[in-house]
Amino acid sequence: MKKDIEIPIAKDVYVAMIREWNEEFLAKDWNAYIINNRPNPIEMVIVVSKGYSDTKKTSTMRHGIGVIKGKDFAKIELVQEEVLALNNEFFVTFFADDKLFEKRFTFLANTVSENHLITIPIIDKEGVLAAE
């Protein structure tokens, strides 16, 4: 019976932290984005995020994103500088091809920084990709 259970593997979906200029506060902020690099849309996208260490933890945030078209992206949340000193986890669930997919992405403590910037595909801005 266990051999009959198919667990689909979520591919071509990523989470990235992008360093962007905030016009309101006249400063650069880190924003978390979900990227759909699949050719087809993903639906009912839900992202649960939290920051944690051995001694500290943040509130758990839940974001209902909805639909993300193929080769597109959506902003998840603003991430404060203080939270980047913690491990940051984003648990993503979505429907595609009539199946439920889930994937966990992690930014380890202090890995989101100007020193680790790369050009993020689809968004075409500099940022840091999460470890899968």
Domains and CATH numbers, the chain: 2-115 (2.60.40)
Distance CA 37, CA 129 (A): 13
Residue 22 confidence (pLDDT) = 87
pTM score, whole prediction: 0.92
82-94 average pLDDT score: 97
Does residue 132 or residue 13 have the better pLDDT? 13
Whether the pLDDT of residue 2 is over 70: the answer is no
What proportion of the chain, given as a percentage, has pLDDT over 90? Answer: 86
The answer to whether residue 69 scores a pLDDT higher than 80 is yes
Query: Is the model's pLDDT at 8 over the cut of 90?
Result: no
